[in-house]
Amino acid sequence: MEQIILLCLVSACLSSVQTQKYLFSPSWGPIGYKDRDEHRDGTVMDEIIKTNEFQASRILDGTTSLREGDIAVSAGRRSKVCFARSCLWSKSVDGNVYIAYKLSPEYSEAEKSVIKKGMENIEKGTCVQFVPWTHQQDYIDIQPKSGCWSYLGSRGGRQTLSLQNPDCLQTGVISHEFMHALGFVHEQSRFDRDNYVTIMWPNIWRDRVRNFEKFRTDSLGLPYDYSSIMHFGMYAYSQDGEATIVPKSGKDVKLGQASTLSHIDRMKINKLYKCGDEDDY
């Protein structure tokens, strides 16, 4: 009898090990990390996909889910969706846009420093300034929840922006999520994107096809930006290691960014919030 029990335990352990190998195998699920190393084409969104697909739930709670991989969307009558229009933060009389933020005490001092660098990345060359929350009614509450995600635009009142530690604490990832908070969707979601890229639908992991939808967003009269920090990488959500987004302007065009905003990203911020002179655009 003892031998039978022992054999059952060994069998159960082996089964568990095999299950783990399957669930965490690079061949399972969307791209994340396997193609990035293979193609040396890592982008901010590759990091976000890796974290959100393998560590964060697609359903954040009973009423909130992720759209396009990292944009939080709430259900119900009180939800505020800005995919087809902008939900802007208030502009001060001095011409700047001051956005209050509150950092969770769960972050270490070193982690807080990295988050602030991500915010500084957006402040450079734009009229957006992040200020510590004191009494402001509208503010961003930065929390180390599960995954890297943000709501789109200003929702009014306290709104959560999740930067899971340590996975999301990279300058580019942080800047990307704050761009969502400013009101920007992913670049390849532009309604005119088919003029610039080809979506390789058969190569996309079937349960993530919806992440490649288009939206009637305002392009602000600016050119399509292949190098935007808001652009998916070429192998985003690939189920077989093949490209899911191919630039129409040539194979040598790199999609997305690894750490910083592009020049056009900064122009977008200033034009959306009507900062500076027309010559600055």
For residue 252, the model assigns a pLDDT of 83
Contacts of 42 (CB under 8 A, 6+ apart): 36, 233, 258
Q: Please, where are the H alpha helices in 216-258? A: none
Q: How far is CA 274 from CA 64, 104, 220, 244, in A?
A: 31, 31, 11, 34
Residue 15, token pair as written in the block = 């089964």
Which residues are annotated binding-site positions?
176, 180, 186
Per residue of the chain (281 residues), what is the pLDDT tens digit?
Answer: 454 444 444 344 434 433 333 333 333 444 444 444 444 458 999 999 999 987 555 666 667 889 999 999 987 645 555 654 568 999 999 999 999 999 999 999 999 999 999 999 999 999 999 999 999 999 999 999 999 999 999 999 999 999 999 999 999 999 999 999 999 999 999 999 999 999 999 999 999 999 999 988 889 999 999 999 999 999 999 999 999 999 998 768 999 999 999 999 999 999 999 997 554 54
- Answer yes or no: are the C-beta atoms of 131 and 101 closer than 8 Å: yes
Beta bridge partners of 64: 74
For residue 74, the model assigns a pLDDT of 84
pTM of the full structure: 0.84
For residue 140, the model assigns a pLDDT of 98
For residue 181, the model assigns a pLDDT of 97
- Answer yes or no: are the C-beta atoms of 47 and 175 closer than 8 Å: no
- 177 as an active site residue: the answer is yes
Q: How many residues does the chain have?
A: 281
124/244 Cα distance (integer angstroms): 32
Question: What are the phi and psi torsion angles at 81 (to 5°)?
Answer: -110, 130
Strands (E), the chain: 64-67, 71-74, 97-103, 128-132, 139-143, 148-151, 158-163, 197-199, 245-247
60/75 Cα distance (integer angstroms): 12
Which residues are annotated binding-site positions for Zn(2+)?
176, 180, 186
Residue type, 197: V
Q: Which of 151, 115, 147 is nearest to 130 (CA)?
A: 115
- Catalytic annotation, pick one of 177, 187, 242, 278: 177
184/237 Cα distance (integer angstroms): 21
